[in-house]
Amino acid sequence: MVEKQIRDKRQQQAKTLRIFRRIHRITGACLFFFFLFVSVSGVLLGWKKHSGDLILPKTYKGSSTQLNQWLPIARLHDSAIAAYEEHINDTPSPQVDRMDVRASKGTIKFTFKDVYWEVQLDGATGEVLHVGKRNSDFIEQLHDGSYVDRLLGSDLGAFKLFYTTVMGSALFVFCVTGFWLWYGPKRMRASR
């Protein structure tokens, strides 16, 4: 009687292990290219500040870190637009997407919608410190799926939400099934 219970328990453990292996294998096969894509883009994003300006331009230093010595934001905005139009001819009238104030460096970075460029200005003088390509923004949009929303003209971020939910859920499934594929055989050997 005890032997039959042990045998039944081992068969149930083996069945559970086969189910987890199948789920792990099918999920991996279906999402292989997406995981490859996420991993490569993630590594690139991790290295963006250490890429020698290939992925993200370095932040230059301005003349003053005292914000009360800085020019008004509206004036800096106009200077950034003028610098963009002078150095880059991608779009006739760029629209500012973000202003990244780096008070500790005396710099303000302007990034633009629908293009991957930035203009860095000295906050106190308005002098152009650098105009550079931001490949990191493109890589980030690929990484999180928002590039597809951009291609589709969707401001809602529906694809990004779907994509990140699927990828996050799949990673959770991999963690659970991967753990069981490691632990299950140990448990079966221990019950001998």
**Span 155-160, average pLDDT:** 91
Number of domains observed in the structure of the chain = 2
| Average pLDDT of the segment spanning 50-75 | 96
Report whether pLDDT(39) > 70.
yes
Residues 113 and 62 in one domain: yes
pLDDT of residue 113: 87
pLDDT at 93: 72
Query: Rounded CA gap, 103 and 125, in Å?
Result: 14
Residue 19 shares a structural domain with residue 86 = no
Residue at which a domain ends, from 89, 115, 133: 133
Of 111, 133, 155, the residue that ends a domain is: 133
pLDDT value of residue 4? 79
Please, are residues 133 and 116 in contact by the beta-carbon 8 Å criterion? yes
CATH number of the domain that residue 84 is part of: 3.10.450
- Co-location of 118 and 65 in the same domain: yes
Assessment of whether the complete model's pTM goes beyond 0.85: no
Residues 40, 13 within the same domain? yes
Average pLDDT over residues 152-178: 92
User: Looking at residue 3, what is its pLDDT?
Assistant: 80
Mean per-residue pLDDT, 71-88: 94
The whole-number pLDDT of residue 192 equals 64
User: What's the domain range around 115?
Assistant: 57-133
Average of per-residue pLDDT values in the chain: 91
**Whether residue 109 sits in one domain with residue 44:** no
The verdict on 73 and 104 lying in the same domain is yes
Are residues 95 and 146 located together in one domain of the fold? no
2 pLDDT tier (thresholds 50, 70, 90): confident
Regarding whether 129 and 145 lie in a shared domain, the answer is no
The pLDDT score that the predictor gives to residue 169 is 94
pLDDT digits (tens, 9 = 90+) for 114-151: 889 999 999 999 999 999 999 999 999 999 999 999 89
pLDDT given at position 91 = 67
For residues 76 and 93, membership in a common domain is answered with yes
Neighbours of 79 (CB within 10 A): 20
Query: Are 122 and 65 found together in one domain?
Result: yes
Considering the domain architecture, whether residues 101 and 164 belong to the same structural domain is answered as no
Is residue 97 located within the same domain as residue 164? no
Last residue of a domain, one of 133, 152, 176: 133
Residue % of the chain over a pLDDT of 90: 66
Q: How many CB atoms are closer than 10 A to CB 89?
A: 8
